[in-house]
Amino acid sequence: MTDTTHDVIGIGNAIVDVIARIEDDVLADQDIPKGAMMLVERERSGAIYGSLGETTERSGGSVANTMAALGALGRRSAYIGKVRDDDFGAVFGHDIRAAGVSFDAPAATAGEATGRCMVMVTPDAERTMATYLGVAVDLGPDDVDAGAVAGSGILYLEGYLWDKPAAKDAFRRAMHVAHEAGRKVALSLSDSFCVDRHRESFREIVAGQIDILLANEGELLSLYETEDLDAALDAVAKDVQVAAITRGAEGAVVVSGGERVMVPAYPVETLVDTTGAGDLFAAGFLNGMATGRSPETCGRMGCAAANVVIQVLGARCSEALTARFEAEGWA
């Protein structure tokens, strides 16, 4: 196994978040299940946008959020995803590069617009998402830079990629390249609804090809079709080397080498918006893995990063994150 050029490389849907504070009845009116990430077509996306009040735009995308945070924490990071040569594409590229992440692919000059996700934050700080993937769905195996994947210590993938055939092929190709090069492959299950859509495939991949699994409790229960967390943790321990399962205000459980470590959540001063909590947990956790920390410290880093992001609007928080890790003595 050769030296790495990057600590982590991520592949995901490149998305700009369009964030709006809403009342619960907007979700009812638009027939959107609260807390979900729903895929919508362009027209539906426009209709939902029209129903929202003032918005704030910030770069997003689940794996992209994780990679931006890893870049801010000083890890050598790279990202693969697809944007158009439009305003949102420019914003996405700027923000991920500003976090120190390599993002080299040129923006597409044709096809759909850069993907966008309506992030609707209700008064309880819960977020519900409606995503128009746009040009992100054109991500395919040819977009996977095999040299970059083979040169990265960890390949990090999002379950959302499984929603589109070409992205699924890119996902498979990247896993193959990473394993051939003796690298680790990490997967985020992304969302319970996503797990529902692809349970069979995910079970097969998790059992056979994933080294590190990131999921929340609901996603894990859905994956193994059980209501018993204990049973699900036993199952995942057999399937992967390391699993980090987040439990909201309860913190996280890290399963590694036959052991379980419980990590408590950090206290929250002002809960602003839960957007990015899972993505930032993943960043903190993978930051720990990439720097050779114990499973418990990896879990603590995940919980600390999640704690930072839920106290800001949106899923990007590089400056606050860096300050927090310095304060914790992890920098």
Question: Given the rule CB under 8 A, which of 83-91, 166-174, 195-203, 257-265 is the region that contacts a copy of itself?
Answer: 83-91
When binding is defined by CB under 8 A, the residue of 7, 9, 11, 21 that contacts a copy of itself is: 21
Residues 86 and 111 sit within 8 Å (Cβ to Cβ): no
Question: Given the rule CB under 8 A, which of 54-62, 75-83, 195-203, 257-265 is the region that contacts a copy of itself?
Answer: 54-62
Number of residues that bind a copy of itself (CB under 8 A): 28
Give yes or no for residue 59 binding a copy of itself (CB under 8 A): yes
Spatial distance between the Cα atoms of 241 and 155, rounded to a whole number of angstroms: 15
Give yes or no for residue 57 binding a copy of itself (CB under 8 A): yes
For residue 48, count other CB atoms closer than 10 A to its CB.
Answer: 22
When binding is defined by CB under 8 A, the residue of 36, 52, 125, 272 that contacts a copy of itself is: 52
Residue 218 vs residues 256, 283, 299, 309: alpha-carbon distances, Å: 20, 20, 18, 20
Spatial distance between the Cα atoms of 298 and 189, rounded to a whole number of angstroms: 18
Spatial distance between the Cα atoms of 96 and 100, rounded to a whole number of angstroms: 7
**Contact set for a copy of itself, span 274-313 (CB under 8 A):** 313
Spatial distance between the Cα atoms of 259 and 129, rounded to a whole number of angstroms: 35
Give yes or no for residue 24 binding a copy of itself (CB under 8 A): no
* CB neighbour burial string for 252-279, b if at least 16 within 10 angstroms, e if fewer: bbbbbeeeebebebbeeeeeebbbbbbb
Question: Given the rule CB under 8 A, which of 35-43, 90-98, 215-223, 293-301 is the region that contacts a copy of itself?
Answer: 90-98
- Nearer CB in complex with a copy of itself: 117/254: 117
Give yes or no for residue 119 binding a copy of itself (CB under 8 A): no
CA angle 317, 318, 320 (to 5 degrees): 70
Give yes or no for residue 87 binding a copy of itself (CB under 8 A): yes
When binding is defined by CB under 8 A, the residue of 95, 191, 217, 279 that contacts a copy of itself is: 95
Spatial distance between the Cα atoms of 174 and 157, rounded to a whole number of angstroms: 9
Give yes or no for residue 75 binding a copy of itself (CB under 8 A): no
Q: By three-state DSSP, how is residue 103 classified?
A: coil
CA angle 309, 198, 243 (to 5 degrees): 50
Residues 12 and 63 sit within 8 Å (Cβ to Cβ): yes
Give yes or no for residue 49 binding a copy of itself (CB under 8 A): yes
When binding is defined by CB under 8 A, the residue of 24, 36, 74, 91 that contacts a copy of itself is: 91
Give yes or no for residue 98 binding a copy of itself (CB under 8 A): yes
Question: Amino acid letter at 298?
Answer: C
When binding is defined by CB under 8 A, the residue of 28, 56, 124, 268 that contacts a copy of itself is: 56
Question: Given the rule CB under 8 A, which of 82-90, 156-164, 175-183, 257-265 is the region that contacts a copy of itself?
Answer: 82-90
Cα 199–chain centre separation: 18
Interface residues toward a copy of itself, by CB under 8 A: 18, 21, 49-50, 52-59, 68, 86-88, 91, 94-95, 98-99, 113-114, 313-314, 316, 318-319
